[in-house]
Amino acid sequence: MATLSDFPVQHGIITNGHPVFDRPHRLTGERFAAMQNANILYEVIPFTYEQKKLLEFLETGLEIGIWQIVRKSKRSFHISVPLYFRKEFENAFGALSFNLKLLGREVKASTSNHQKICKSAPALRDAPISFKKYHRYGEIQDYLKYLSLEYPNTVCLQNYGVSYENRPLTLAYVSTGGSKPIILIDAGMHAREWITPAQALYILHALIEKKENKYLIEKVDWIIVPVANPDGYEYSHTVDRFWRKTRSKLKNGARGVDPNRNFDFQWMQDGASRHEVSQTYCGPCPFSEPETKFLSRLIIKNLNQIKLYISFHSFRQCIAYPFGYTHASPHNAYEMHQLAARAEEAIYRVHGNHYDVGSTLQVMRKMSGSSTDWAYGAAGIDLCYTFELPGGGTRGFDLPASAIPTVVTEVFAGIKVFHKYVQLNYTK
């Protein structure tokens, strides 16, 4: 079997042990446009260490998008390959003895079907917002305004900044008054992960509009950011359903930075890409994006009170704590693991769904410059988690709207476990 180190250089695919294909900085004009509009989707199952390392390199180093699918007995990858280098891709992976399964051709992801679903889904009883559909950013803003007007003694809205395209970055501050420990939650950092804003909205709904949860806001305050990347989120609704990044303008006509690689902690290390067209492009410098800059300022401003930080993502179905860039363990790794494990047990009791628990590097993948690593390693928040919600649909991120109630209700059971721990350990 060929390996990365002995693959023939004359193929123009391997350099210094890594695949080259067509370097992103060379992608301009028609080839760049082709990359944006037509892809081939493959399923790949790595069987060797070399194969796994190649997939990790492609995920962070090139313009191929890799989606990880977790199954009961094996781990496979979905690879979306730009149509113009389908031949090079198949030749290279064939030489490396990969088992490729062609899933079909993709055209730029359409939003029409998702829009139809959003328009037709009914609202849940006793809620002014539906949890059986995905909402546009304007609808989310309207719901936040409704909460602040209906519950003025409990909910305060704040615009903590503006996005690249001048959309307000809005948070809901839930408090009954006084100085109390804070649980900070953000969602929608990656645009295509629609289930995460739905989760954040449900937490707000459950905290404020369900009387049985009144105890959750008596001794703990909550800061909830439903959509941390509104530009990308809106773009995923109107143009490209699977858009991931922000919408800032880059060189060579490229757009967007991965906000979860743009934080100033171990920035631009392994697990992030320097190439503008990569899904994990870390940006020209830390906090280059207003979305990450303003979120970090929000955290620093409230640092004395924030005791727990959760960033919702999808679709790995896990609860991960730092670190993503190294195998080294945080000083309180045991505490974070045990707390996450108890939350996972509570989640399982609702619908029987399991979530993996471990460090980001253990249960997800290598990454650097993430919000949770920064919040823990730079800001100094003791309890930090990346909470990956379940996937579904054709590519994991397009979880059917019908699954929203199952996900948000089971995860809220875990959130209550986190709340209990903060209340017991950080209140007077």
Q: What are the tokens at 43? A: 């399923």
* Nearest to 381, CA basis, from 181, 157, 138, 211: 181
Q: What are the tokens at 26? A: 């060379």
> CA 244, 51, 43, 348 torsion: positive or negative?
negative
Q: What are the tokens at 365? A: 């993948």
CA triple 116-118-122, angle to 5 deg: 115
Phi, psi of 167 (to 5 degrees): -85, 145
- Under a CB-based contact definition with an 8 Å cutoff, are residues 209 and 170 in contact? no
Radius of gyration of the chain (CA): 21
Q: What are the tokens at 272? A: 């992030």
Please report, to the nearest 10 degrees, the dihedral formed by the alpha carbons of residues 84, 90, 96, 98 taken in order.
120
Q: What are the tokens at 275? A: 């190439």
Contacts of 325 (CB under 8 A, 6+ apart): 266, 269, 270, 271, 361, 366, 367, 368, 373
One-letter amino acid for residue 173 of the chain: Y
Phi, psi of 76 (to 5 degrees): -125, 165
Catalytic residues: 388
CA pair distance 365, 327, nearest whole angstrom:
11
Return the number of other C-beta atoms located less than 10 Å from residue 161's C-beta: 18
